[in-house]
Structure 1
């Protein structure tokens, strides 16, 4: 039994099951998207300082990967 927002809630299960149910689930897709956006930002900043074909290719690969993830 818990009190949440002035409401009593009953949980039917063990304490271990309750602890597992309370854990927030992580969105793996959102985590990967955030990581890609961070890498894109990093590569863009490096490109602005010292442009190179290798960095441009890495940037394009990251953009394509992000687009595929958004589908």
Structure 2
């Protein structure tokens, strides 16, 4: 039974200490974390634009707000867990 794995990622070799099943679980956790970070960025931008809209409404900010809402919707559809 292997206790070390040589992983090739982005043209680089990485050594992983553990079983293949452990590596798979960690990979899934990392992927989900990156997805949550991306969603958080979109949601933060939405909050920022919404705040600006409440102070100084403009067509440009409204368009940006609608675009961010669409991005969030598409992101959630394409990153279902």
Distance 1:66 1:13 in 2: 39
Q: Name the one with the larger strand percent.
A: 2
Gaps of 5+ in 2: 6-14
* TM-score for the superposition, normalised by structure 2: 0.60
Q: Between Structure 1 and Structure 2, whose CA radius of gyration is higher?
A: 1
**For 1:62, which of 56, 65, 68 is the aligned residue?**
68
Moved over 6 A (4+): none
Deviation of the 1:29 alpha carbon: 2.0
User: Where does 1:17-28 land on structure 2 (aligned, <5 Å)?
Assistant: 17-18=16-17, 25-27=30-32, 28=34
* TM-score for the superposition, normalised by structure 1: 0.68
Which has the bigger relative contact order, CA under 8 A and spacing at least 6?
Answer: 1
Distance 1:68 1:25 in 2: 21
Gaps of 5+ in 1: 1-10
Counterpart secondary structure, 1:25: helix
